[in-house]
Structure 1
Amino acid sequence: MTRDEQPMIGESPAFLEVLERVSKAAAMNRPILVVGERGTGKELIAERLHYLSPRWDQPLIKLNCAAISDSLLESELFGHEAGAYTDASRSRLGRFEAADGGSLFLDELASTTPAVQEKILRVIEYGQFERLGSSHTRSVDVRLIGAANIDLPELASRGRFRSDLLDRLAFDVITLPPLRARREDILPMAEAFAMRITRELGRELFAGFSPAVVERLLEHDWPGNIRELKNVIERAVYRHEAIEEPVTELALDPFDSPWRPVSGRSTASAGAAIPDPGAAPVDLRAYLKQQEKALAERALAVSAGHQGKAADLLGLSYDQLRGILRKHDLAGR
């Protein structure tokens, strides 16, 4: 594995279903869309689609469309001739030509302009395009794998993504489950990340995680998915100095500090006004329950969902806060 590569680890039904879909789709010489939240491993799925396909011994070219400005993306994809624009001193192959015979993985497809989408559609339909600054039509044989972390059909319905391109891309759509839907896979992945950072640090031993850390790993919602899990585990192992003992501390938020700069955040309660006992009978238990829920919601909002920080704001232990969240059906926030 490369340094930043995520392992393909998991035995959860949701994960195994994705692998089965990938294995079937890999053999088809058709465009495929890979959809999922950030950090769910879309690039790894694209690699699997390529290396299980008949094109496995041909190039796999990757490009994050959002990482390149609109003015340069067309040249990056389709190439240009010398003199096509001010800085074009020589001809240059684009990614489609570089991927000829193989696969092209385009991440963040939703960030592309309508003009680029039209040219991509033409390549999918006819295998043809022109470099910038050229009228010569070139032909390529490329299997396109697209990826997005937003709702492309909804974008298309608002005219922000070409419906005809979406139709061609969506021969099959593989939607990756978020990590919160793969609870069975969290610990195996965490252990794999821990072992790798242990080797990187030159240590001979990884003593595992304490029961409290295991509980936090399983209860956290992982909005950043596998990428977030990787960072949290590597940070925990790197900070852990008693290497012969299990890891006991887990910093879910690396910015968490009593000296963290604040900007307009307030810890004021958003609870309901105190009722007047003289005006009407008061249900004290219902009122206190309402106030408890309101304070817990406010603390979560102020702490951006960081439950450890929310517990500190309320003067509670992490376990006490978790009990309150479960009582008010807020545990999934």
Structure 2
Amino acid sequence: MTKTNQQENLIGQSNAFLEVLEHVSQVAPLSKPVLIIGERGTGKELIAERLHFLSQRWDQSFIKLNCASLSESLLESELFGHESGAFTGARNRHEGRFERADGGTLFLDELANTSGLIQEKLLRVIEYGEYERVGGSKTLHADVRLICAANEDLPSLADAGEFRADLLDRLAFDVITLPPLRYRREDILPLAEYFAVSMARQLKMELFTGFSRTAQEILLEHRWPGNIRELKNAVERSVYRHGDEPEQIENIILDPFDSPFRPRSRVKTKERQVATEPHAGVPATVENSVELGSVSSGAHQQVPQFPLDFKQETESYEVHLIQTALAESQFNQKKTAELLGLSYHQLRGILKKYNLLDKN
């Protein structure tokens, strides 16, 4: 991404947003570590790029890595590299992100998901600028400006012993906390119009007809738990479904899953699958309430139909509880664990069990 394009995507006029940009401009020239804290979809990567482009390293590499997307061993290799033969399948020497970012900036997203081993090695790089490739003994030196991001409260994790306090001290030379979109109400319509025009161009439409008053009210009143990313998806979806109609866009499609025929259980076998067509004279809501594996959100559960697969039904209910708690806590895993009476690591284990880590 070029510097120009990066700046174009940082759109806003709210005081909260302008204060963030001023903060970024102040700290950008320093080759010091910076932490960016914010909910998912608030633009942490864009802010990291702005920090890089406004620094004296702007003409050097900007390297990024999502720490939540890799296992500990793969993350260690990606960060620090590995020597040939360091492990099974390591046929050639691999340059890590620190090596590739030498002289530039390294952005690490989802930092809270790193293990104690990775945190210890990061601490050494920050303190001494030294590291070794996996399977190697030669000490390498890194001139890298480190920018890290998280969507969790790292001081609370450090107090709970789930994140190294000494690493947090080194990383937090300064902390930029991004406001959620619901606190940037003045920015919602300008952002929506920007995304709509971009989508219209992508679809080769003659023009963007604009949002009706009703559509604007929907955009302004929605809470946007997914923040700017959710807004972008909703606007682009609404533009393409509206098509080339000459009228203004009236309907904002907030939930693409919204359907009376949406299945409610996680997995179904062919033998237990409920008929997808509603019975004559029976409302869809009643039909859904007796679907196998569904759980009432009221004071009591629906009576299940037997025989059933006990393991599958209990797993489906666990997933339902976790997803409900995640939504309630704005997908903050620390808060979700507290709502469910679990430790952070217990929740992470359950999310991994049901392949929910990549989705949250």
Coarse TM-score class (shorter-chain normalised): 0.7 to 0.9
What is the aligned partner in structure 2 of residue 69 from structure 1? 71
**Aligned counterparts of 1:159 and 1:24: Cα–Cα separation in 2:** 32
| Gaps in structure 2 of 5+ consecutive residues | 266-293, 301-323, 329-360
Of structures 1 and 2, the larger Rg is shown by 1
**Aligned counterparts of 2:236 and 2:88: Cα–Cα separation in 1:** 45
**Aligned counterparts of 2:194 and 2:26: Cα–Cα separation in 1:** 27
Instruction: Return the letter of the residue paired with 2:171.
Output: L
What is the aligned partner in structure 2 of residue 174 from structure 1? 176
Q: 2:104 aligns with which of 97, 102, 105?
A: 102
Give the share of equivalent positions with the same residue, in percent: 65
Secondary structure, counterpart of 1:154 in structure 2: helix
Q: 2:24 aligns with which of 22, 25, 47?
A: 22
**Aligned counterparts of 1:75 and 1:190: Cα–Cα separation in 2:** 40
Indicate if the aligned counterparts of 2:61 and 2:101 stay in contact, CA closer than 8 A: yes
Indicate if the aligned counterparts of 1:104 and 1:144 stay in contact, CA closer than 8 A: yes
What is the aligned partner in structure 2 of residue 88 from structure 1? 90
Q: 2:135 aligns with which of 120, 127, 133?
A: 133
Could you list the runs of 4 or more consecutive aligned residues of structure 1 that deviate by over 2 angstroms after TM superposition?
Answer: 265-270
Residues 297-308 of structure 1: pairs in structure 2 closer than 5 A: none
Q: 1:198 aligns with which of 197, 200, 203?
A: 200
Give deviations 1:96-133, integer Å, cap 9, x for gaps: 00000000000001111111111111111110001111
What is the aligned partner in structure 2 of residue 277 from structure 1? none
Q: 2:296 aligns with which of 252, 266, 282?
A: 266
1:269 CA displacement: 6.9
What is the aligned partner in structure 2 of residue 274 from structure 1? none
Does structure 1 residue 44 correspond to structure 2 residue 46? yes
| Gaps in structure 1 of 5+ consecutive residues | 271-300, 306-333
**Aligned counterparts of 2:243 and 2:91: Cα–Cα separation in 1:** 54
Indicate if the aligned counterparts of 1:80 and 1:91 stay in contact, CA closer than 8 A: yes
Instruction: Return the letter of the residue paired with 1:223.
Output: P
Residues 273-312 of structure 1: pairs in structure 2 closer than 5 A: none
**Aligned counterparts of 1:54 and 1:242: Cα–Cα separation in 2:** 46
Give deviations 1:42-83, integer Å, cap 9, x for gaps: 000000000000000000000001111112110110001111
Indicate if the aligned counterparts of 1:193 and 1:233 stay in contact, CA closer than 8 A: yes
What is the aligned partner in structure 2 of residue 324 from structure 1? none
Q: 1:267 to 1:128 in 2, by over 3 A?
A: closer
What is the aligned partner in structure 1 of residue 287 from structure 2? none
Indicate if the aligned counterparts of 1:27 and 1:52 stay in contact, CA closer than 8 A: yes
Instruction: Return the letter of the residue paired with 1:172.
Output: D
Give deviations 1:121-159, integer Å, cap 9, x for gaps: 111111000111111111110000000001111111111
Decide which moves more: 37-46 or 64-73. Answer: 64-73
**Aligned counterparts of 1:66 and 1:76: Cα–Cα separation in 2:** 12
Indicate if the aligned counterparts of 1:206 and 1:243 stay in contact, CA closer than 8 A: no
Normalised to the residue count of structure 2, the TM-score between the two structures is 0.73
> What is the alpha-carbon root mean square deviation over aligned residues?
1.9
Normalised to the residue count of structure 1, the TM-score between the two structures is 0.79
Give deviations 1:240-262, integer Å, cap 9, x for gaps: 03531100111111100010112
Instruction: Return the letter of the residue paired with 1:240.
Output: H
Give deviations 1:197-252, integer Å, cap 9, x for gaps: 00011101111011111001000000000000000000000000353110011111
1:268 CA displacement: 4.5
What is the aligned partner in structure 1 of residue 185 from structure 2? 183
**Aligned counterparts of 1:143 and 1:216: Cα–Cα separation in 2:** 41
